[in-house]
Structure 1
């Protein structure tokens, strides 16, 4: 996977917990426009893809994604997350990349 695509998917995952609030904020804007409508539809599509990937993943994968992106401690390294989840560093990378690939395919990239 290209680095730019990987980084964009990471930004989507970091923003996923706050997507509902952001969509509501955009919809309640009194200067709502067609550009906002396009942005909201993209956000909703991204949200649905992430939700489907989370539903179709295992409990361990969900904990991994939650630790890395949803409730990420900025002082914790990849090794620290792997240690907290009692998995090896290589397993963490494999599971994370597999999840990212599923999101990439879901978004049609």
Structure 2
């Protein structure tokens, strides 16, 4: 797997705890758009037009590419976490989901927080990243 693909997946994993906040922010941007001030004095628009902003908002929220991408990332990571064992989950939580990680993989092994060897821990991490990359469509076996 390319190093750039690994880095991309790692960045997505680091953002995982904040994905719900990003989705909420994007929905707020779409619900309450910043409208430019109309400085057109004398001219204007018709004031009796039909207001279909609620319908457009629903369509916009469903079709927004950024929201859909964030939801897909969240779903893929959730699915990958459901498929792995306890040791892999501890490794991923410590390495990517914590704001300030306390341990490296070596620290997890030495302090017996995971029940596997150093080589196995690195292999579990690599398999998890590879699984996420495949499901995100970033990597395929060629």
Larger radius of gyration: 2
Q: Structure 2 regions of 5+ residues with no counterpart?
A: 35-56
Residue number in structure 1 paired with 2:33:
31
Q: Structure 2 matches for 1:75-90, cutoff 5 A?
A: 76-84=103-111, 85-86=113-114, 87-90=116-119
Report the structure, 1 or 2, having the larger helix content.
1
Q: How many residues are paired up?
A: 108
**Correspondence 1:71 to 2:73:** no
Cα drift, residue 81 of structure 1: 3.0
Aligned partner of 1:55 among 82, 92, 105: 82
Of the structure 1 ranges 54-63 and 80-89, higher mean CA displacement relative to structure 2 is found in 80-89
2:94–2:102 CA contact under 8 A, matched in 1: no
Residue number in structure 1 paired with 2:123:
94
Q: Distance in 1 between matches of 2:99 and 2:24?
A: 24
Q: Structure 1 regions of 5+ residues with no counterpart?
A: none
Q: Distance in 2 between matches of 1:13 and 1:102?
A: 12
Q: From the superposition, tell whether residues 80 and 95 of structure 1 become closer, same or farther in structure 2 (CA, over 3 Å).
A: same
Q: TM (normalized to structure 2)? A: 0.67
Q: From the superposition, tell whether residues 93 and 100 of structure 1 become closer, same or farther in structure 2 (CA, over 3 Å).
A: same
- Structure 1 consecutive aligned stretches of length 4 or more whose deviation exceeds 3 Å: 72-78
